[in-house]
A and B are shown apart, each in its own frame.
Chain A
Amino acid sequence: MSDWLSTFPGYSQLLSTGKKVFGRIIQTGPTPQHVGIVMDGNRRYAKSHKIEIKEGHNRGFEAMAKILELLYECGVKYATMYAFSIENFKRPKQEVNWLMSLAKSRIIEMTQHGELCEKYGIRVQIVGDTYMLPEDVRSILDKVEDMTKNNKRAVLNICFPYTSRYEMTQAVRSVVDKSSKDRDFIIDESAIEDHLYTSDAPPLDLLIRTSGTYRLSDFLLWQCVPSSCAVVFTKKLWPDFTPWDLCKILVFWSFNKYWYGNSNGYSVSYKSTAEEDDVGSIKNDVTPSSSGMSTGFDRYLYDYDTNSDTTPIDTRDSESTAEQETIISDNSEQKSAK
């Protein structure tokens, strides 16, 4: 279907214009700043389409370029792609070698004149334990990092080779090292966060895992556990994952953020109920300002409350409001007792 469509003249122009328009529209609402993607399913794609495994990986890299284009069009500042896991070294030697050479050529291609990096001003960072890579690959990756280091608009983190446990271990090690040298060094969560590979990035907002696997597979574990991060699993294999699928994910993310204030959707966790309490205190204020409420859902709740407060029919309205107040204070006491 899409092959047939793409033969029409002006198809690619239409697509790129469509991406631009979508980017403009979605940027008027909340957009994620940092997106992590697990590119999984290349080999299954190759198997199901009866093509060679290396061709499957090749298609994967092609898909990556398209997806990245849309991401940066939508105002994403940081994209973190899981290209190669440390565990992937266990794969057959031939496949690993092929992956290495493919990564080399594709990453260089991206940074060439007029390609993705120049178009969107992307700084490429190679994240992970690069000392495990062969010498030639490492030198090329270093060169690429050096070439793009002056780009300021967006950042592309390529995890190559990476596992989150290694990352956390490395962070712990450098924190321990630092504190052994400097006695006043305070060890807390932010200290460890500052030593993770993604220390300069904003907190992760969205993590996408393709290929219908409901696992994180050692990717950005520390970064993705806070409630502020939405974890999205899709059934599509990575080469099948089109910008259109990403559009849907981004719009839903934006909707959840706008309406619920939580990118996951409506959540009933203790944490979010605690946050609702804060909103409640704003509500009880004498002069509530709608600026304090950042989400559509809050505003809705607020409107609902004020309507019920300000439309008294009974003559006993002062009593009933007093009652309401006591109920509210009771609740808050109970919550604080918890």
Chain B
Amino acid sequence: MVESLVRRKSGTNGTTIVVGRTSEAEKIDRRDRGEKEVTKAARSLISNFLHGGEGTGAAGQSGLNLVLFYVNHAILLAIFFLISIYKNVEFVYHRVMLKFLTLAYYPNKTPQLIREDVTKLNKIPRRISCILNLKYEDDENGGIDGLVNDISELAAWSLSAGIPSLSVYEYSGAVSDHLQQLCRSISKTLSVYFGSDSMPSYCVRVPHTNTLIYNINTENPTSQAPPEKVDLEITLLSRVDGKPTIVELTKTMSELVNKELAVNDITVDLIDEELVELVGKEPDLLVSFGPCLDLQDYPPWHIRLSEIYWEQDNLDVNYAVFVRALQQYSNCKINVGK
């Protein structure tokens, strides 16, 4: 051990750099040999501390290393303790901030107020995407009903802000089994916001099951043909629209290859075209309504240049977060590569 101390000293002094370097090489060597003998917890530390000869006794060495491990671990835990205090304070601060913001930005179910918030901004996204979380049934605004409510509110906000396309990502895709309920809820919310006479038209699209539901103003139910243009397009995404869709696309391509498709024909543009068809276009703005940024297997192809926004410690879908996301987007500058 004395020898090791001397070595380390000479290494850190910088006077004999060559010795320091050879001990580095030894270090690697020792680590490979020592790995079998020592416990897993201390293993990473062995590499840092094993500078001395092996004759000093392996038991004493590993004992010392274990002690050092616990000392270091205690320091780490002390740091963690401080962080936990900091996080609690931060949490309270964020919650108070959010409470204040919810009071400051309250849509009051009137599109005019939302419009006023938005007209101050110098640009708004064309496509917005939101990551929602399915909460426990027992929680406030939880379960499918909660999700359906959130989506309806988001639809109303997007329409008021003048965003023509909204996609909603939820990991499990549970809402797509309750489309009837969703449509009813959206219609109800929109009629509250806009009045039942001038209710905007919308359509709900589930790319995975390839369903598309139009909801035109029910004034003239005779016109069954889908309208040329709807005011808002809602897309429901889930995990299957991400990586599994790319896998499906690969499978389809591998069936077509050597018949209609050459391997070299597979380009970025081709895949992009196919995925736009299968999933939708890339959103300009991605808002996560969770307490932290968690992408939850969001379709990887589609978040290339999306501006990402989330509010720390925010637990639910609220308008303040939505508006702040739009504000951030209006300030961002996208320059692809340049």
Contacts and interface: CB of A to CB of B under 8 A. Distances in A.
Contact of A172 (B134, B246, B290): B246
Contacts of B309: 214
A172 B271 contact: yes
Interface stretch (A52-60, A132-140, A215-223, A285-293): A215-223
Given A214-B332, A268-B291, A172 B297 contact: no
Interface string A138-151: 00000000000000
Interface in B150-190: 170-172, 174
Interface in A24-79: 24-29, 75
B80 A28 contact: no
B295 A24 contact: no
B82 to A, nearest CB: 10
Contact of B291 (A258, A265, A334): A265
Interface residues of A, number: 75
Contacts of B305: 215, 217-218
Contacts of A271: 171, 296
B133 A188 contact: no
A231 interface: yes
B219 to A, nearest CB: 37
A165 B83 contact: no
B258 A165 contact: no
Interface in A218-240: 218, 221-222, 224-227, 229-231, 233
Contact of A215 (B28, B172, B296, B308): B308
B89 interface: no
B44 A215 contact: no
Interface in A74-92: 75, 85-91
B28 A168 contact: no
B173 to A, nearest CB: 10
Nearest to A268: B133
A20 B48 contact: yes
A91 B293 CA distance: 32
Interface in A2-38: 13, 17, 20, 23-29
B58 interface: no
A28 B247 contact: no
Given A168-B271, A269-B294, A24 B45 contact: yes
Contacts of B84: 255, 259
Contact of B79 (A90, A176, A251, A273): A251
Contacts of B327: none
B295 A227 contact: yes
A222 B243 contact: yes
B294 A264 contact: yes
Contacts of A200: none
Given A169-B267, A215-B307, A176 B293 contact: no
A98 interface: no
Nearest to B239: A271
A168 B45 CA distance: 38
A222 B298 CA distance: 9
Interface string B230-251: 0000000000001110110111
Nearest to B306: A215
Interface in B296-338: 296-301, 303-309, 315, 328, 332, 334, 336-338
A265 B292 contact: yes
Nearest to A337: B137
B80 A255 contact: yes
B300 A222 contact: yes
Contacts of B266: 169, 172-173, 176
A66 B25 CA distance: 21
A218 B28 CA distance: 36
A221 B290 contact: no
Contacts of A90: 336-338
B190 to A, nearest CB: 27
B135 interface: yes
Contacts of A229: 295
A233 B288 CA distance: 15
14 contacts: A13-B12, A25-B72, A86-B337, A87-B336, A168-B271, A172-B249, A175-B254, A187-B251, A213-B332, A218-B304, A221-B304, A255-B84, A262-B294, A265-B292
